[in-house]
Amino acid sequence: MKPSAVVTGGASGIGFATARRLLDDGWPVAVIDVDPYALADAEESLDGENAIFVECDVTDEDEMAEAFDRVVDTLGPLGGLVTSAGIARYLPVEETTAELFREIVDVNLVGTFIACRAAIERMADTLSIVTIASVSGLRANHGRAAYGASKAAVKMLSEVIAVELADRAVRVNCIAPGPINTPMLDRQHAEADRSLWLEHLPQKRYGEPEEIAAAVAFLLSPEAGYITGQTLSVDGGFSAAGILRKP
């Protein structure tokens, strides 16, 4: 039997697609999310699956400790963690307040750190962690001062943990999605934003949450056993592109 896996932010978008994929692959899965309504919908959708659903704020270390203890008590020691919880606001630097900057960093970066610490303390014989960053943490995109900085830091955090714990059977890798069709992106990308992104995407389309979930499933699997400290861009070619020829 597989050890358990935790997906933070697992009630919607990339997190939910990942939870569903891991369940299909035979993982017992704990879905952690701060949104009780999304969590209830996810539980209804995954009714009958080997999953538990825990309402929790990833920035609260005590809440997370209790949540992870519940996971271990119910599903067993942790073999996998996916840190998909995150928030985004896209504003120019001059319109980004320090309060907003701190909030985004707290959820995206500190929340990832807290989840990783909690998983390491409760790991099975081996542990694979996949953090979710963004192409906006790899390249400078307008309006992403706070979001991009937080995701760039997630990448570095992942690399440091991977290096420090490589000799303890812990692997840590990072996925940097491009624009993905999720509820969060729908709230942030107006039609003009989509048109602009599509001009710079070699594949000329947004990705789907299931495509990120497939990459996560690979990195968590034994097939990726010699991969750690890496960042995989799943972005339709965005991070590789330069000048694109107009049709």
Provide φ and ψ at 139, rounded to 5°. -130, 150
Known catalytic residue at 90: no
Which three-class secondary structure string do you get for 48-115?
A: CCCEEEEECCCCCHHHHHHHHHHHHHHHCCEEEEEECCCCCCCECHHHCCHHHHHHHHHHHHHHHHHH
Strand order in the sheet with 51-55: 51-55, 29-33, 4-8, 78-83, 123-132, 170-177, 231-234
Active-site choice (37, 90, 147, 206): 147
CA angle 112, 62, 149 (to 5 degrees): 25
Active site residues: 147
